[in-house]
């Protein structure tokens, strides 16, 4: 079988989207970008965790892997990313035949612009030819061997996926000027586009991702309210009510103080994002500005308070990978058409099946 798969290999999560040519449907999912030593004898595998064997070595991949996850560096040419990418390809590959898998993957714009780095990344993350992955998906499963062939390989600059989202695709003209603010777990990638062409000297990568925001939040709450570890700060960031929990002994005065600290830290982070854009002399009042990435959703209100015309795209975690898939399918001779990446066709088919 010939398959078409896009991967957005993030520091926190590896996002995946696959186009089924036979069903004309797209499915998406993600796994945690974490890898540690594994053992197929493991009979207590955690949820959303897999044990795999790649190149003769066994790994635990996903939520249950030990350690801190992907290395906090911009260059994604790492063992962690490679193992996570090959794991998801192995998960999707057929067990009874040798699939040919055509793959699109993203690289930060400043790395992608360097041709040597781009080619090295492609060859390392997506080795050409036949690959075998042995995989155990949970404690009770048998180990299954999957052999597949990596076919056509595409590397796109991260953030370009946003331009191919349903919300933006039909409005992009060759002369359109668009700024894409992609705030992931590690970095802010603020990319500047004329049409769908990257303007590299007006783009920037900065250490302003969710990991830094959580670290700042933890430090400020610890300094001004009560000691707050980063895991609790992360929970607060994801919560609807931005305040430290009171049920464990926090006073109302401390809770209100935490609310003010949180508001200040998030607003300052959004202001720093804007300052980075201004440092590249973006004409923010005269251009489209869109935001993607999980952290963009977390600070959506603050971004809208700082940027007068910013749009935080829905489903921001998957914008890149779905865009990569749409670009690849339009270019790849195996599909050679514009595909739908929305959930509408899936819901329609579900309703049709239910009705029948």
42 with 56, same domain: the answer is: yes
What is the extent of the structural domain holding 298?
Answer: 173-208+271-316
Indicate the pLDDT class of residue 348, thresholds 50, 70 and 90.
Answer: very low
Looking at residue 303, what is its pLDDT?
Answer: 97
28 with 7, same domain: the answer is: yes
Contact between 172 and 197 under an 8 Å Cβ cutoff? The reply is no
302 belongs to a structural domain: yes
pLDDT digits (tens, 9 = 90+) for 298-335: 999 999 999 988 999 988 899 999 999 999 999 999 99
Domains: count for the chain: 3
17 with 156, same domain: the answer is: yes
223 belongs to a structural domain: yes
322 belongs to a structural domain: yes
Q: Enumerate residues 6+ apart whose C-beta is below 8 A from 169.
A: 163, 326
Looking at residue 344, what is its pLDDT?
Answer: 44
Question: For the chain, what is the mean pLDDT?
Answer: 91
297 with 180, same domain: the answer is: yes
71 belongs to a structural domain: yes
CATH number where 280 lies: 3.30.420.40
287 belongs to a structural domain: yes
Among 274, 291, 298, smallest CA distance to 217 is for 298
Looking at residue 349, what is its pLDDT?
Answer: 45
62 with 6, same domain: the answer is: yes
62 with 84, same domain: the answer is: yes
186 with 85, same domain: the answer is: no
Contact between 30 and 46 under an 8 Å Cβ cutoff? The reply is no
Q: Which helix (H) or strand (E) holds 315?
A: none
42 belongs to a structural domain: yes
Question: Is residue 75 predicted with pLDDT exceeding 80?
Answer: no
What 8-state DSSP symbol labels residue 131? E
247 with 150, same domain: the answer is: no
275 with 334, same domain: the answer is: no
166 belongs to a structural domain: no
167 belongs to a structural domain: no
The two structure tokens encoding residue 72: 């906090």
The two structure tokens encoding residue 270: 């959004």
* CA angle centred on 314, ends 49 and 336, rounded to 5°: 80
Looking at residue 68, what is its pLDDT?
Answer: 64
Looking at residue 127, what is its pLDDT?
Answer: 93
Question: Is residue 45 predicted with pLDDT exceeding 60?
Answer: yes
The two structure tokens encoding residue 269: 């982070």
142 with 250, same domain: the answer is: no
């Amino acid at each position: 079988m010939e398959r078409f798969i896009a991967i957005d290999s993030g520091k926190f999560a590896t996002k995946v989207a696959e186009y089924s040519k036979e069903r004309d449907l797209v499915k998406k999912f993600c796994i945690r970008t974490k890898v540690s030593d594994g053992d197929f004898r493991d009979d207590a595998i955690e949820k959303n965790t897999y044990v795999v064997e790649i190149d003769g070595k066994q790994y635990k991949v996903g939520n249950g892997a030990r350690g801190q996850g992907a290395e906090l560096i911009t260059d994604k040419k790492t063992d962690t990313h490679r193992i996570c990418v090959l794991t998801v390809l192995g998960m999707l590959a057929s067990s009874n035949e040798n699939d040919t898998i055509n793959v699109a993957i993203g690289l930060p714009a400043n790395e992608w612009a360097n041709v040597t780095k781009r080619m090295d990344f492609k060859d390392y993350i997506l080795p050409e030819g036949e690959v075998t992955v042995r995989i155990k998906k949970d404690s009770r499963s048998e180990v299954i061997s999957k052999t597949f062939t990596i076919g056509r390989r595409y590397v796109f600059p991260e953030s370009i996926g946003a331009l191919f989202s349903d919300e933006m695709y039909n409005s992009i003209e060759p002369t359109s000027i668009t700024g894409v603010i992609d705030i992931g777990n590690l970095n802010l990638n603020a990319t500047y586009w004329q049409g769908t062409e990257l303007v590299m000297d007006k783009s920037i990568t900065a250490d302003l991702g969710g990991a830094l925001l959580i670290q700042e939040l933890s430090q400020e709450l610890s300094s001004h309210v009560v000691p707050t570890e980063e895991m609790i700060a992360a929970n607060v960031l994801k919560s609807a009510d931005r305040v430290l929990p009171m049920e464990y002994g926090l006073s109302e005065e401390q809770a209100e103080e935490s609310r003010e600290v949180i508001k200040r830290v998030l607003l300052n982070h959004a202001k720093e994002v804007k300052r980075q854009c201004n440092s590249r002399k973006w004409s923010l009042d005269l251009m489209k500005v869109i935001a993607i990435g999980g952290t963009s959703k977390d600070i959506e209100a603050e971004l809208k308070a700082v940027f007068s015309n910013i749009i935080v795209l829905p489903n921001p975690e998957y914008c890149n990978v779905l865009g990569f898939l749409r670009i690849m399918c339009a270019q790849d001779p195996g599909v050679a058409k514009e595909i739908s990446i929305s959930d509408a066709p899936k819901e329609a088919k579900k309703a049709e099946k239910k009705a029948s």
